[in-house]
Chain A
Amino acid sequence: MGEKLLQVENLRKWFTIEGDTWFAKNQSVVKAVDDISFYINKGETLGLVGESGCGKSTAGRVILQLLEATEGEILLEGENLAALSTRQLKNKRKDMQIVFQDPYASLNPRLKVRKIIEEPMTIHLKLSKEERMEKVKQILHDVGLNEAYMDRYPHEFSGGQRQRIGIARALAVQPKLIIMDEPVSALDVSVQAQVLNLIQDLQAKYGLTYLFITHNLSVVKHISNRIAVMYLGRIVEIANRDHFFEDTKHPYSKALISAIPEPGSKHRRERIILKGDLPSPVNPPSGCHFHTRCPFVMERCITEVPDLVDVGESHFVACHLHNE
């Protein structure tokens, strides 16, 4: 560890949307991702947490170059992805793969499992047909599926099994980085644990690096080495897992943690109930985006955007309370 696989520098992704009215062409801008920077070391898992609309999935997609960044740099092993030619980028794509949230929508219903897993190999790897089949079998075995399932179609599988197929497809080209976009959110609890264990096993076996995007803090705590919290397009806190949970700094992170109902916890932690809804990213609040819901809001928060600063031991937080 220690070597950086992925570096994201001042990444911005803005979407322009047409105005509400038929006649006036007033455009507004959604700042889905607004100046985020982070890195992921080789072999580690960074958990990216946030509520719906905070930009976590958009961030994942921009990193994979599925969406074009508005601004900023994405470096994979030191190489700037935006500077690559189309062909070079295609080559790079085999190093980064994604597993999607919805195992029902993310597999082509007309392809047999063998074809789904084989397809990325056909594109990226120079292998003979026999070699590819051999590999498909081995990957199916890796993800805990019987190789006899190879000739079945996605609809013949349960949600958990489909998610295994999605993971198998991502593994097919031996990527370095896998972006896991809510990979267990659509699964039943008993199956969720199986898939989480599989994700960890594969990481240990192949030295994979994960960007694990989720809204579920308990899952993130279980699986991540480091944790980043996003709110309305910005990262508000990044820290090692243990630092993050033992010494949570940002009021939003604290509220998130306290909002989770824990099964059977007798002495309930003091709950911070945030007022109001997540503001719209079209017109985010001025200054610190969180100031409209923050229990500790100060005058400064309304006008001034807090920087993400190191408060010691690589614990970064963007909050005026911790930024003297």
Chain B
Amino acid sequence: MENLLEVKNLKTSFFSDGKETPAVDGVSFELKKGETLGIVGESGSGKSVTSLSILQLIQKPHGKIVNGEILFKSQNLLELNDKQIRKIRGKHISMIFQEPMTSLNPVFTVGNQIMEVMTLHHGVSMREAKVQAINMLELVGIPSPEKRFMQYPHQLSGGMRQRVMIAMALACNPDLLIADEPTTALDVTIQAQILELMKNLKKQFDTSILLITHDLGVVSEAADNVAVMYLGRIVEYTDVDTFFEEPKHPYSQGLLKSIPSLSNRVERLTPIQGQVPHPSAITQGCRFAGRCEHVHDMCIREEPPLMSISQHQIRCWMYSESWNDRDKEDTAHGREVAAGRESSKVVHH
């Protein structure tokens, strides 16, 4: 099947005081029609910047897409001018943000905001737009939609607002929905409702979803494929079943081990040591080396490429042939170097 979205070698950087800090560095992935790709990572991994780059919502002039291609239906979005990209936003690609309070306009009614998208992109009359907007509210499971249509965002609960965001995002029946932490600000019972809703909508409209989250549970629930990001790089990329059955990258393994599980209680969690360094502190070598338990000299010398192994794409030397021929003694040395480097990185924000 043809790819709906293809991101190739994307690099987005932020500039301050003449210094370049890459937030996303050489990221490539693809998304087919009706498919959900989960991008997982902790803060600073570049997952949100990736999604903002697709719609070119990066704050200028500090942020800039330095390199890469974003092919949407085989058309490179980065070659479009402002007017052309505005036609794509909201109509073909729309976005749901994490914080449902701040992403709705407080001085317009909910109905008004949904209608705006429709009149803007489809040129329908106000009357027609109102009928459609009320339909959308009903579709996303808002009770008494006629009443809600007239209300302002502050009159709605968090879950309700997120539904409005979803209604707005789906108003033009987009091909691609970017959901950036759509349930993070919500309570678990409401999160369950929203995930269920997204699943149903996907079934109904065959929408492709790019799901950005830090929650591996949500990914497992909602995604078909997973890309794990760490410090601006994709470190592991595979389908969701393979990922949870056999996570390969030490970072993915570490993440899975550090979450307390409901079904499988352990006396003590196994955390990943250290913390995510600031992107400005990136040095040569594997970006995870400073926190990795398997670190070897070669990890510090050179960054591994994204390698393909059966179902997986992995950025780790452990899965290369040279790993077997490595000098075992260098492991200890590698750990020291990495640790030293790590401690010099910490605490400079």
Note all chain A residues with C-beta closer than 8 A to B276: 188, 190
Contact with B along A264-280 (1 / 0, CB 8 A): 11101001011011100
The answer to whether A197 and B268 touch across the interface, beta carbons within 8 angstroms, is: yes
* Contact yes or no, A215 B187, CB < 8 A: yes
Task: Determine if B42 is an interface residue (Cβ-Cβ < 8 Å).
Answer: yes
Distance (whole angstroms) from the CB of B182 to the closest CB of chain A: 13
In the bound complex, CA of A222 to CA of B268 (Å): 8
Residues of A within 8 A of B266 (CB): 222
Hey, which chain B residues are within 8 Å of A277, CB to CB?
Answer: 157, 159-160, 190
Chain B proximity of A245: nearest CB distance (Å): 8
Q: Which of A1-9, A32-40, A252-260 is the contact stretch?
A: A252-260
User: Cβ of B245: which chain A residues have Cβ within 8 Å of it?
Assistant: 264
Min C-beta distance of A215 to chain B, whole Å: 7
A300 to B151, CA, bound (A): 34
Question: Which of B215, B244, B265, B346 makes the CB contact (< 8 A) with A264?
Answer: B244
Residues in B24-79 with C-beta less than 8 Å from chain A: 42-43
A78 adjacent to chain B (CB < 8 Å): no
Contact of B43 (CB < 8 Å), options: A188, A215, A266, A271: A188
Binds B, one of A91-99, A118-126, A154-162: A154-162
Question: In whole angstroms, what is the CA distance A294 to B93 when docked?
Answer: 38
What CA separation (Å) do A102 and B256 show in the bound complex?
24
| Cβ–Cβ < 8 Å partners of A265 in chain B | 220, 263
When the two chains form their complex, are residues B220 and A264 in contact, meaning their CB atoms are under 8 A apart? Answer: yes
- Asked if A90 lies at the interface with its beta carbon under 8 angstroms from chain B, I say no
Q: Residue on A with the closest CB to B347? A: A156
Interface residues of A in 41-71 (CB under 8 A from B): 51-52
The verdict on B270 contacting chain A, using a C-beta distance below 8 Å, is yes
Instruction: Flag if B271 contacts A260 (CB, 8 Å).
Output: no
Q: How many residues on B have C-beta within 8 angstroms of the other chain's C-beta atoms?
A: 54
Interface segment, one of B124-132, B172-180, B191-199, B312-320: B191-199
Q: B190, B216, B219, B271: which contacts A197 (Cβ < 8 A)?
A: B271
**Given A156-B349, A189-B255, A190-B42, A262 and B189 contact (CB-CB distance below 8 Å):** no
Closest B residue by C-beta to A52: B187
Tell me if B188 is interfacial: C-beta within 8 Å of chain A: yes
On chain A, which size bracket covers the interface?
35 or more
Contact B43 A274 (CB under 8 A): no
Closest chain A residue, CB of each to CB of B270: A193
A141 within 8 A of B: no
B308 within 8 A of A: no
- Whether A263 lies near B143 (C-beta < 8 A) is no
Assess whether A219 is interfacial by the CB under 8 Å rule: yes
B residues less than 8 Å from A111 (CB atoms):
none
Q: Is the CB of B192 within 8 A of A271?
A: yes
CA distance A52 to B348 in the complex (A): 34
Whether B261 sits at the interface, judged by CB under 8 Å, is yes
Across the interface, name the chain B residue whose C-beta is closest to A149.
B347
Q: Which residue of B lies closest to A217 (CB)?
A: B262
Residues of B176-218 contacting chain A, CB below 8 A: 187-193, 195-196, 214-218
- Closest A residue, CB atoms, query B260: A222
B188:A256 contact, CB within 8 angstroms: yes
* Contact (Cβ within 8 A) B143 A276: yes
Residues A190 and B275 in contact, CB atoms below 8 Å apart:
yes
- The B-contacting residues of A in range 190-235, CB under 8 angstroms, are 190-194, 196-197, 200, 215, 217-219, 221-223
Contact of B188 among A221, A223, A259 (CB under 8 A): A259
A312 interface residue, CB < 8 Å from B?
no
Q: How far is the CA of A258 from the CA of B160 in the complex (A)?
A: 21
Residues of A within 8 A of B190 (CB): 51, 277-278
Cα-based distance from A263 to B159 in the complex (angstroms): 23
Determine whether B150 belongs to the interface, using a CB cutoff of 8 Å to chain A.
no
Tell whether A263 pairs with B256 under 8 Å between CB atoms, given A51-B187, A215-B188.
Answer: yes
B306 in contact (CB, < 8 A) = no
- B347 touches which of A152, A189, A262 (Cβ 8 Å): A152
Q: How far is the CA of A135 from the CA of B139 in the complex (A)?
A: 60
Whether the Cβ atoms of B255 and A222 lie closer than 8 Å is: no
Q: Is the CB of B217 within 8 A of A261?
A: yes
With A152-B347, A218-B262 already in contact, the answer to whether A262 and B275 are too (CB < 8 A) is no
User: With a CB–CB cut-off of 8 A, which chain A residues contact B269?
Assistant: 193, 196-197, 222
**A263–B244 contact, CB under 8 A?**
yes
Is A278 a contact of B157 with CB atoms below 8 Å?
Answer: yes
Given A196-B260, A263-B259, A191-B275 contact (CB < 8 Å): yes
Q: How far is the CA of A193 from the CA of B254 in the complex (A)?
A: 10
| Least distance between B173 CB and chain A CB atoms (Å) | 25
Contact A188 B157 (CB under 8 A): no
Residues on the A chain within 8 Å of B337, using CB: none
Chain B residues near A191 (CB-CB < 8 A): 271, 275
Please determine whether B260 and A262 come into contact, CB atoms closer than 8 angstroms.
no
Q: A190-B271, A277-B157 are in contact. Are A218 and B259 (CB under 8 A)?
A: yes
Contact present for A261 and B195 (CB under 8 Å)? yes
B272 in the interface (beta carbon within 8 A)? yes
Residues of A within 8 A of B157 (CB): 277-278
Known: A155-B349, A160-B275, A273-B192. A262 touches B214 (CB 8 A): no
Which chain B residue has the least Cβ–Cβ distance from A258?
B192
Question: Are A157 and B188 neighbours in the complex by a CB distance under 8 Å?
Answer: no
Shortest Cβ-Cβ A-B pairs, 8 listed: A264-B244, A261-B217, A193-B271, A193-B258, A222-B260, A259-B192, A51-B187, A263-B216
| Between-chain CB contacts (< 8 Å), 13 pairs | A156-B349, A190-B272, A193-B269, A193-B272, A196-B260, A217-B188, A256-B188, A259-B191, A261-B191, A261-B215, A264-B220, A264-B244, A268-B221
- Give the B-binding residues of A (Cβ under 8 A): 51-52, 149, 152, 155-158, 160-161, 188-194, 196-197, 200, 215, 217-219, 221-223, 245, 255-266, 268, 271, 273-274, 276-278
Which residue numbers of B lie inside 8 Å of A, CB to CB? Answer: 42-43, 143, 157-160, 187-193, 195-196, 214-222, 241, 243-245, 254-263, 265-266, 268-273, 275-276, 291, 346-349
Q: A190-B255, A278-B187, A278-B189 are in contact. List 10 more A-B contacts (CB 8 A).
A: A158-B349, A161-B275, A189-B216, A191-B275, A223-B260, A258-B192, A260-B217, A261-B217, A264-B245, A277-B157
